[in-house]
Amino acid sequence: MLAVKVLERKSIIQLFGICLTIAPFFNVGVMVWVQHATKNYHWNWLTIRAIASSGSLLQYALSLLSIVIGAIMLRGSKNAWKYVLFLLGCHILTQVGSIGQDIRQNWLWGPFFLVNVSVFIFIADQLVFKTPKPLSPQELKDKLQLDQVSKNEPLVITPEPALAENVRQLHPEPAVTVAGDKAHPSFPTLYTRKKTLIQFEGFGAWAQLISVSSHKIHVRCLTVPPVDFKSRKIEINFRNGLVLQTWLDRKSDQDFYFEYPPLNESQIELLDRWVRKHAA
């Protein structure tokens, strides 16, 4: 809603804060002007003091509250609207007791009271107790991912062969060759020919496997990567008994390089078997 977006701007909140701060003084000025127009009172300090001191204790409290809440709103925080709601609620409660008599004196008090109630409901519904907008499927997926990231256990990546329909949807680019400068002597860098997708548990496929060696795995991002994983340890589960504890070594455009400690002979054998079965 456009009105809500406008009212949540810092400058607008500060403007309302200025209005609330000067409102009590403005009211006294209006009363002096009315008395001057109807009873020919003179503009002097005695007249202003007499009118200012003619109010009730409740009116003084509301005036002081208006000044305090106005000062709070000058900070520009959206949370300040809950104080405005409280102030408006106090004014409505004071009007309820005398609304009948006020309407008999002047019918304009009726619409004025209804306007106050409408503004109170609007502020309560749209600015203070605002119901959050339903999450879209993508936003819900991101929220679930953030919940997973907040846990202490490492994130889990599962490389799986891509289904034909997934390949058509993701349109992966052809694999590129990178130098295997640090590859293990008994396990050279192997480049994938099959479309093998990488997925985070609970997140879905987000990258394509490009190459794997005894110390590094290279993937290419196909969609928005999971958030907050660059500084965390990541567990890669090949689902054949081989589980590698990795970390992000570097990133180049859409390419991510994950490193892991040197593999022993049994791990190299499991990795070689997986690559030749699923990716070679």
User: For residue range 27-75, what is the model confidence (pLDDT) as tens digits?
Assistant: 777 776 766 666 666 666 776 677 667 667 888 888 899 999 999 999 8
CA separation for the pair 201, 40 (Å, rounded): 81
Domains located in the chain, CATH noted: 2-128 (no CATH), 138-279 (2.40.10)
What per-residue confidence (pLDDT) applies to 169? 33
Q: Which residue has the tokens 């000067």?
A: 22
Greatest mean pLDDT among 86-90, 94-98, 241-245 lies in: 86-90
| Exposed/middle/buried for residue 155 (C-beta within 10 Å: 0-12, 13-18, 19+) | buried
Question: Is 236 strand, coil or helix?
Answer: strand
Q: Which two tokens stand for residue 53?
A: 């001191």
Mean pLDDT of the chain: 73
Query: Which residues, 6+ apart, have CB-to-CB distance to 41 below 8 Å?
Result: 32, 35, 47
- Report yes or no on whether pTM surpasses 0.85: no
What per-residue confidence (pLDDT) applies to 18? 93
Summarize pLDDT for 118-129 with one digit per residue, the tens: 888 888 888 887
What per-residue confidence (pLDDT) applies to 102? 80
Residue 95 has pLDDT above 90, yes or no: no
What per-residue confidence (pLDDT) applies to 133? 63
Residue 255 has pLDDT above 90, yes or no: no
Residue 185 has pLDDT above 50, yes or no: no
At 170, is the pLDDT very low, low, confident or very high (cuts 50, 70, 90)? very low
Summarize pLDDT for 109-165 with one digit per residue, the tens: 888 889 888 888 888 888 887 766 666 666 666 656 555 544 444 445 555 554 333
What per-residue confidence (pLDDT) applies to 72? 92
CA separation for the pair 83, 77 (Å, rounded): 11
What per-residue confidence (pLDDT) applies to 62? 86
At 279, is the pLDDT very low, low, confident or very high (cuts 50, 70, 90)? low
What per-residue confidence (pLDDT) applies to 39? 63
Residue 189 has pLDDT above 70, yes or no: no
